[in-house]
Structure 1
Amino acid sequence: MNKQLLNRRIRLASLALVAGAGLAAGTAQAQDKGSVHLAYVEWSSEVASTNVVRAVLEQQGFDVEMTSLSAAAMWQAVASGDADAIVAAWLPTTHADYMERVGDEVDDLGVNLDGTKLGLVVPAYSDVDSIADLNDHADDFNGEIIGIDPGAGLMGLTEDVIEEYDLDLALRSGSGATMTAALESAIKNEEDVVVTGWTPHWKFARWDLKYLEDPENVYGGAEQIHTIARQGLEEDMPEAYAILDAFEWTPEQMGEVMLMNQEEDSDPYENAKQWVEDNQDVVQEWIDG
């Protein structure tokens, strides 16, 4: 092989390497749509919905980071721009205080789930049917209402309930897990127990429960869960914003994921990916949105 031909082949090989590297970089850039940071509160409903949204966004090429926070910190994270969005805003009652504080600093993308409910919940076998009757049975309930995390809006409303009805029961804080554990233990022993409750929640599918009547309507009527985004997300990530804006499902669909998450050794993220795979018709509507 003469020197001129050899030099030509070397140049062609170099050009091919450069072109290949450029193509690879271009492909990587096309697939890298950026990172979306989702905040959420550690409620079974919000664990389900946030993981599903994560799975959908990842399916579309986004990297997704999830951070579990208290309700107050979750709202503040979106308002400050430390988080891009939440799909866990209970309005107009539960998170009313947070919306009042930072509503001008965030974008409300509207309802992602309709038909929620808040209140005090007891086993169906309980003789008590109304919050107004709790004082007559305070000893049966060990003088306490089993609550969840202290920063939750539901806990603030329950404090209002205790004051409005002048209840002789103390509100015990904990978590969603400790609340359901106390409920399960009482039901196994056919004992009375009263817990803070909300719909949708998997406990209503597992046990026969009832809401106590709230004649003073302190807990308010049915609520909705909203998607809230940081200001500027639409300009920074229009495709992610559009998916978040279009995300909407039913309590029944959310309940499917919540029940999957209650299976032993289950992974909420893997369950969400499975649900997304099994419900591509629903997911496609969010993507098309």
Structure 2
Amino acid sequence: MKKLFKVLSLMAVLAMLTAVLFGCAQGGEEKKEGGEGAKEGKGKVTLGYVEWDSEIASTHVVKNVLIDMGYDVETVAVDAGVMWTGIGDGDFDAIVSAWLPGTHKDYYEKVKDKVDNLGPNLEGAKIGLVVPEYVTINSIEEMNSVKEKFDGKITGIEPGAGIMRATEKAIQDYGLDFKLQDSSSAAMAASLKKAIDNNDWIVVTGWTPHWKFAKWDLKYLEDPKGIYGGEEHIATIVRPGLKEDMPEVYRMLDDFHWAPADMEAVMLDIQGGMSPDEAAQKWIKNNQDKVNEWIGK
């Protein structure tokens, strides 16, 4: 009887182990079929961008639209030179951060025969020297006369950026007795905020669209020599072969177009504390009609 009891107990344990193993197998299979990781992707898209507030906004909106379309998307933040070399060499599938015809002119000239320019995704862009509205001068030509109020410096962004090169030329052509101070887009905005909080004079390298124009009363200094050029646009550039490799992605990028107010709304949310992805998802949710135009719905 004891032997029979042992056999029955062993059979019960084996039955329990079998049930547990079967349940695990079933659970794993369910996760594979229905879980998020199980969704079969359409492929990977790599987007390069410069870490300007404007381009963080646009790149993450495009990223999240493509993710919603079923693609795996990688975004790579680099400086302008690396971004243009990357798209020229095919390391990136696309960039939506090309400031043309002026700011990125030199970069574009080097790769224009190796890339596809899909045209503007945003129009009405501009670069130049920006000051708070309370600053009493209105032209770059007046800067030397009030050099002390500006501490003899122009607060810039990343060295090598197109607007920095234009500012170096402005210093030379206008004979400005000013030093151009390298920093970053974020550091420039922080310096601007500090100066405005204290009602101090400051001149920065600026561009629109940018959230700072929605947050503070600012103005461009007039540029009678035309160093900073006229109105610019932001273009979408893709690698050759993308149209054939990923026609749906190509069509979406070709149809991607929005207004400065759209971009500034995303930038303001990021500035307010949202992550770039959160701000992009909020904008997409609130502008589904526009997004549907991009994706052909």
CA deviation digits over 1:179-201, x for unaligned, max 9? 01111111111110000000000
Q: Could you tell me which of 275, 294, 297 is aligned with 1:267?
A: 275
Q: Which residue of 1 aligns with 2:220?
A: 211
CA deviation digits over 1:56-107, x for unaligned, max 9? 0000000000000000100111111111100000000000001111110111
- The aligned amino acid for 2:277 is Y
Kindly tell me the number of residue pairs found equivalent between the two proteins.
267
1:194-273 to structure 2, matched below 5 A, reads 194-264=203-273, 266-273=274-281
| Secondary structure of residue in 1 paired with 2:248 | helix
Distance (Å, rounded) in 2 between the aligned partners of 1:32 and 1:262: 32
| Secondary structure of residue in 1 paired with 2:83 | helix
- The aligned amino acid for 2:63 is R
Distance (Å, rounded) in 2 between the aligned partners of 1:32 and 1:176: 35
Q: Could you tell me which of 124, 129, 133 is aligned with 1:120?
A: 129
| Secondary structure of residue in 1 paired with 2:131 | strand
1:139-218 to structure 2, matched below 5 A, reads 139-218=148-227
Say yes or no: does 1:286 pair with 2:286: no
Distance (Å, rounded) in 1 between the aligned partners of 2:198 and 2:164: 26
The structural deviation recorded for 1:30 is 8.3
Q: Which residue of 2 aligns with 1:64?
A: 73
TM-score (normalizing by structure 1): 0.89
Distance (Å, rounded) in 1 between the aligned partners of 2:137 and 2:181: 20
Q: Could you tell me which of 32, 38, 52 is aligned with 1:43?
A: 52
| Secondary structure of residue in 2 paired with 1:168 | coil
Distance (Å, rounded) in 1 between the aligned partners of 2:148 and 2:257: 43
The structural deviation recorded for 1:29 is 9.7
| Secondary structure of residue in 2 paired with 1:259 | helix
- The aligned amino acid for 2:133 is A
- The aligned amino acid for 2:85 is Q
Q: Which residue of 2 aligns with 1:88?
A: 97
Long gaps (5+) in structure 1: 1-16
TM-score (normalizing by structure 2): 0.87
- The aligned amino acid for 2:288 is Q
Distance (Å, rounded) in 1 between the aligned partners of 2:240 and 2:224: 39
The structural deviation recorded for 1:151 is 2.2
- The aligned amino acid for 2:79 is S
TM superposition outliers: structure 1 runs of 4+ over 2 Å: 28-31
Long gaps (5+) in structure 2: 1-25
Give aligned-pair identity as a percent: 53
Distance (Å, rounded) in 1 between the aligned partners of 2:268 and 2:40: 33
| Secondary structure of residue in 2 paired with 1:150 | coil
Distance (Å, rounded) in 2 between the aligned partners of 1:89 and 1:246: 16
Distance (Å, rounded) in 2 between the aligned partners of 1:40 and 1:237: 20
Q: Which residue of 2 aligns with 1:134?
A: 143
Q: Which has the larger radius of gyration?
A: 2
The structural deviation recorded for 1:128 is 1.3
Distance (Å, rounded) in 2 between the aligned partners of 1:263 and 1:275: 14
